[in-house]
């Protein structure tokens, strides 16, 4: 059972992080598209809502729920608190991107563009760090040099 929970946890995380990679690249197309715009310009906003509510949020909820089920195995060391802190950052990033989707704010503001560019790349180091911490947990890897 542990294998299947872990597999589903990793799959849900892959779905969630795919959305975290894609949504910030979709946000510039969504900015400035109100309901009075032609249907062709409303398409990015509809795609953003579908991505956020239909893919990312269910992926995030499944990732966190399955991770909580896996906590029953216990842990030792600091890898889990560090991983949970990084997952917390990913949740904050998820919420920020959702807020930007529904309230774009001032389009084209220089500081907003810089922040959005930095935050658009943040999921990559987050994913790598979370994967490294999961691999570094005690018992995750066989000892070096045999047996």
21-74 pLDDT per residue, tens: 999 988 877 775 555 555 555 677 788 899 999 999 999 999 999 999 988 766
* Domain spans in the chain, listed from the N-terminal domain onward: 2-136
Q: Look at 104 and 107; give whichever has higher pLDDT.
A: 104
Quick one: pLDDT at residue 20?
95
pTM given for the model: 0.82
Structure-block tokens of residue 96: 């920020």
Cβ–Cβ under 8 Å, residues 88 and 57: no
Q: Assess whether pLDDT exceeds 80 at residue 106.
A: no
Quick one: pLDDT at residue 131?
92
Handedness of CA 97, 130, 86, 83 (dihedral sign): positive
- With pLDDT > 90 as the criterion, what percentage of the chain qualifies? 49
3-class SS of residue 144:
coil
């Amino acid at each position: 059972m542990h294998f299947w929970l872990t597999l589903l946890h990793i799959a849900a995380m892959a779905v969630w992080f795919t959305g975290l990679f894609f949504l910030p690249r979709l946000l510039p197309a969504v900015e400035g598209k109100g309901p009075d715009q032609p249907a062709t310009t409303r398409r990015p906003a509809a795609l953003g809502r579908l991505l956020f509510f239909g893919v990312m949020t269910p992926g995030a909820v499944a990732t966190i729920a399955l991770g909580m089920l896996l906590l029953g195995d216990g842990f030792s060391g600091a890898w889990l608190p560090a991983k949970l802190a990084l997952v917390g950052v990913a949740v904050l990033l998820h919420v920020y991107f959702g807020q930007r989707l529904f309230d774009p704010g001032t389009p084209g503001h220089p500081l907003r563009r810089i922040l959005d560019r930095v935050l658009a790349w943040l999921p990559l180091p987050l994913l790598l760090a979370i994967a490294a911490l999961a691999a570094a947990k005690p018992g995750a890897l066989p000892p070096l040099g045999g047996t």
